[in-house]
Structure 1
């Protein structure tokens, strides 16, 4: 009996010890076997798809990245002071001293203009970045959705508009600076001509001509520096002017988006062809409104507050992506049912609706010269149709 109990006890310890050993092996893989199955499972790459919020943020980042302010020039225009010369006591020597003093005054003026240029560039970059950040925040909120006419969004829009005006004021300072640099460019051209003409003055000694050669080289370098400064400043003005003009259209589109509480997309002006190279469309007859083929958009005003802006924007933007110089016909179609008096009321109401649609297109950034407005009648209900010309 005692032998049986000892045997059972030994068997139980063996089973318990085996269970502990099995548990340890399954929980802790062998460190000496890097090719084991458990290690392969740990090193296996697992792809995690981005969440919906991450996708939205990524699209917003791509959207705001294409709207960054233009990069301004970064050249620091430093002049090299002219070398001094010994007075020769001749008439030409006195002329050289006068020209050298004129060059020093010119270079001092250039130093001031260069400092002003660096300051206005710094300020313009700062104002543009602040504006860009504010617009990006508004687009982000509109992309995620907000209430129509949100007062906080309206306040943010007003702040962005004020910031854009600061950028525009910076352009005014650049234009003023450009006028000053242009005046110095004229002065430098005069100095160069006067220096070269001094070689022909009689009564000069060899030292005078040596100093004239040095002075001519210094004036020529100053002329080149001023030309570079003026060219780079003109490029800055052009870039910033185009940027401000484009952002005014973007703000108009944002204003419409804030009004509706949703973001349509970038201004149509950013994809539309330059309106100056497109002939203004002729207003079509009121009887040819239906002879244009299939309309791009049909807006039926059979209920109050028809929400049509998003569909309208999508259709026009798609056309402009393929045909940047496209023009459109906007036709007010009024119903003739209900007698003469009712038909007249329908015509007036439909014209007002068409004008509202045209205003929406302009707010989206489409140049007014791209759209012709006409009217016609039909047996169907009151509606506004947009055709591709």
Structure 2
């Protein structure tokens, strides 16, 4: 909801970083009826998702005696097919357990490295600390190893899918063999046993496939999320201050992107005003705090980033001011992307203002 100039008296703007002011109290007045804003958890404390822990050892195939009939020979061939399938499943189960162990070890190393970076940022450090940058590079390499584990999991999923298809075909073949002519009672007895064992194998391979697929999906989502969170962590290292996690963790579902072509209403109060009145304005901590607070209170919020140029005395000066303001707005947009705010939540526009003394970037919440 847009706030007009009549609400300006309620503003308690806090100067957080150089030329960056944050008007969160005015935009979101505390009425005492809303739920309290939760503080961000320290980055990297949630850990990887749980993986399945089941083992899938194939059942033993019962031996059978030759009967000398055509059906008996068919039973022996089907029994051999089941034994070969179960040998394949045993290897796949072994591969699954090995991938799980590797994933756990890689995840522990990754979270240990991230925790060390986070602990150093928590107590404060210098911006761009090279030691933390080296640790961040190590964390990136460790996350790449987890990505390799996920790829192994996906390949194994494809293999187990083939085994599942084969198991279903084998069960159909065993059942079809019971209708063949020329069988003796012993053939049908062995077929009943073989059908039971094949059916149990089908159930086992389906459970294996289901658990493996779930593990793979969760790990893929986890890696994707951690890649975004590493961007936020890099932002913290750059500023020498802790960031409470990616902004994507605070987004609500079912939102619409900011409508194209929407103009900024005259007199509307910005959530953040960043004044680029000197080189290297350190605006990111204040920007993160403002956007996080807005999303804590309104998870479905979208944002307008407006490049505000002062009115120039000449057309040339005006064009130069507009170019500089646009460059600063692009920098703010990149910062929001690094904080994991989706591009669909942000729209960029530009304007001029006779009251602006220098180039500004204003961020409005919707």
TM-score range, shorter chain: 0.7 to 0.9
Q: Which residue of 2 aligns with 1:295?
A: 270
How do 1:117-266 residues align onto structure 2 when only pairs under 5 Å count? 117-266=96-245
Post-superposition shift, 1:301? Answer: 1.2
Q: Does structure 1 conserve the Cα–Cα contact (< 8 Å) formed by 2:114 and 2:139?
A: yes
SS, match of residue 245 in structure 1: helix
Runs (5+) with no aligned partner, structure 1: 1-58
TM-score, normalised to structure 2's length?
Answer: 0.85
More RCO (CA 8 Å, sep 6+): 2
SS, match of residue 42 in structure 2: helix
Q: Does structure 2 conserve the Cα–Cα contact (< 8 Å) formed by 1:283 and 1:373?
A: no
What's the CA shift string for 1:266-312, capped at 9, x where partnerless? 011222246xx655444426xx2344832111111122221211111
Q: Which residue of 2 aligns with 1:383?
A: 360
Task: Compare CA radii of gyration and give the structure with the larger one.
Answer: 1
SS, match of residue 188 in structure 1: helix
2:53 to 64, 74, 83: 74
Q: Which residue of 1 aligns with 2:317?
A: 342
Q: Which residue of 2 aligns with 1:50?
A: none
Q: Which residue of 2 aligns with 1:86?
A: 65
Q: Does structure 1 conserve the Cα–Cα contact (< 8 Å) formed by 2:302 and 2:365?
A: yes
SS, match of residue 178 in structure 2: helix
What's the CA shift string for 1:66-85, capped at 9, x where partnerless? 42111111111111111011
Distance 1:152 1:305 in 2: 22
Post-superposition shift, 1:264? Answer: 2.0
In proportion to residue count, which structure has more helix?
A: 1
How do 1:323-334 residues align onto structure 2 when only pairs under 5 Å count? 323-334=298-309
TM-score, normalised to structure 1's length?
Answer: 0.80
Judge which range, 341-350 or 355-364, deviates more: 341-350
Post-superposition shift, 1:63? Answer: 2.8
Distance 1:242 1:140 in 2: 25
1:371 to 337, 342, 346: 346
